[in-house]
Amino acid sequence: MSIFDLTGRTAVITGGNGGIGLGIAQALNAQGCNVSIWGRNAEKNKSAAATMSAGPGRVHTQVCDVSDPASVKAAMQATLDTFGRVHGCFANAGIGGGGRRAFIDRTEEEWRKMFATNLDGVFHVFQAAARHMTERAEAGDKFGRLVATSSLASLFGTARNEHYAGTKAALNALCRALAVELARYGVTANAILPGWIKSDMTAGIMENDKFVANVMPRIPVRRFGEPSDFGGIAVYIMSKASSYHTADCFVIDGGYTAF
Ligand code: NDP
């Protein structure tokens, strides 16, 4: 059996109904992993489920708003009722800056909304998953994977997008802290830092010729990333092969940060 065979494992992917999350869900499912896709839009969830390969891995969808702790609690319960176990949790749901503006003009509402989804959302989801994983570990079943989708914005000084950058930098720190705290339960915690990836979030900016002319020369592989570029790292993290790999920030950016 391949070290990357995920038959019998289950992963939650928040924001798994599109973009990077869907790329992750499809790759995991293709390796036999059960996937539970959480997103706010039931129709999008259903369409995403229809794209999965007809393998041994089953697919479950759940309407969930990660910024709402009650919604996350209900989604985790529904997932556990369906599969009985959650081995991995990809806290990937997030929102972008929605049009940059000067920090001095940043509204309280924009700031709060960003943190409610991108940071509080991960807190809710990771806590629900970690409670389950540590409980299972106490019963002798020590395996868990916590993965947050962060961003290169957590490393760079992204002007006029400081609220987004702040949430993502906090995710890197959260993963490192959890990696230390939860290691004894067999739970790893890592962040994934995408570069410029084609998705609904970036569709507008990637149609801007000036943006493309400016950014493309700084990407050594000379293309924007695709959601499918995140399949390999997701499968690796979910597999036994990654059990000694924790507290890391995986940069998936076509070499952008090398410049
Ligand atoms: P998309 O807009 O395609 O996907 C975002 C996903 O998050 C959707 O599935 C959406 O589903 C879900 N979502 C948003 N808000 C909530 C919420 N409150 N509760 C539950 N689900 C929610 O964007 P990407 O795939 O690009 O983004 C995925 C992650 O990658 C984000 O965290 C983003 O910050 C990060 N990222 C993306 C980069 C890029 O270049 N694309 C670069 C760096 C990081 P629904 O609307 O149904 O809820």
Question: For the chain, what are the domain ranges?
Answer: 10-258
In whole angstroms, give the CA distance from residue 65 to residue 69: 8
Ligand 1 neighbourhood includes 197 CB (under 6 angstroms)? yes
Ligand 1 neighbourhood includes 40 CB (under 6 angstroms)? yes
For residue 207, what are the contacts with CB-CB under 8 A and spacing of at least 6?
none
Ligand 1 neighbourhood includes 39 CB (under 6 angstroms)? yes
The string of pLDDT tens digits covering residues 39-70 is: 999 999 999 999 997 878 999 999 999 999 99
Give me the pLDDT at residue 141, please: 98
**CATH level 3 topology of 10-258:** Rossmann fold (3.40.50)
CA 13 – ligand 1 centroid, Å: 11
Give me the pLDDT at residue 55, please: 77
CA 15 – ligand 1 centroid, Å: 5
Whose CA is closest to atom 48 on ligand 1?
40
DSSP assignment letter at 197: B
Give me the pLDDT at residue 112, please: 97
Give me the pLDDT at residue 259, please: 82
For a mutational test of ligand 1's pocket, the pick from 12, 20, 95, 114, i.e. the residue with the most ligand atoms closer than 8 A to its C-beta, is 20
Q: Examine the residue annotation and report whether 244 is marked as an active-site residue of this protein.
A: no
For residue 80, what are the contacts with CB-CB under 8 A and spacing of at least 6?
86, 132
Average pLDDT by consecutive 10-residue portion of the chain (259 residues)?
94 98 98 98 98 90 98 98 98 90 95 98 99 98 99 94 97 99 98 98 96 97 98 98 98 96
> Closest ligand 1 atom to the C-alpha of 45?
47
Report angle CA 30, 122, 165 to the nearest 5 degrees: 105
> Closest ligand 1 atom to the C-alpha of 23?
25
Ligand 1 neighbourhood includes 36 CB (under 6 angstroms)? no
For residue 42, what are the contacts with CB-CB under 8 A and spacing of at least 6?
61, 63
In whole angstroms, give the CA distance from residue 77 to residue 125: 12
The string of pLDDT tens digits covering residues 78-107 is: 999 999 999 999 999 999 987 789 999 999
Query: Which residue out of 164, 185, 244, 256 is catalytically annotated?
Result: 164
End-to-end CA distance of the chain: 40
Q: Which alpha helices (DSSP H) does the chain contain, by range? A: 19-30, 42-50, 69-83, 108-115, 121-138, 162-182, 203-206, 209-215, 231-238
CA 259 – ligand 1 centroid, Å: 26
In whole angstroms, give the CA distance from residue 65 to residue 40: 5
Strand partners, 240: none
Ligand 1 neighbourhood includes 151 CB (under 6 angstroms)? yes
User: Quick one: tokens of 206?
Assistant: 């990637």
CA 75 – ligand 1 centroid, Å: 18
Report angle CA 98, 42, 203 to the nearest 5 degrees: 30
CA torsion through residues 138, 142, 148, 154, sign = positive
For residue 235, what are the contacts with CB-CB under 8 A and spacing of at least 6?
4, 6, 27, 28, 31
Strand partners, 39: 63
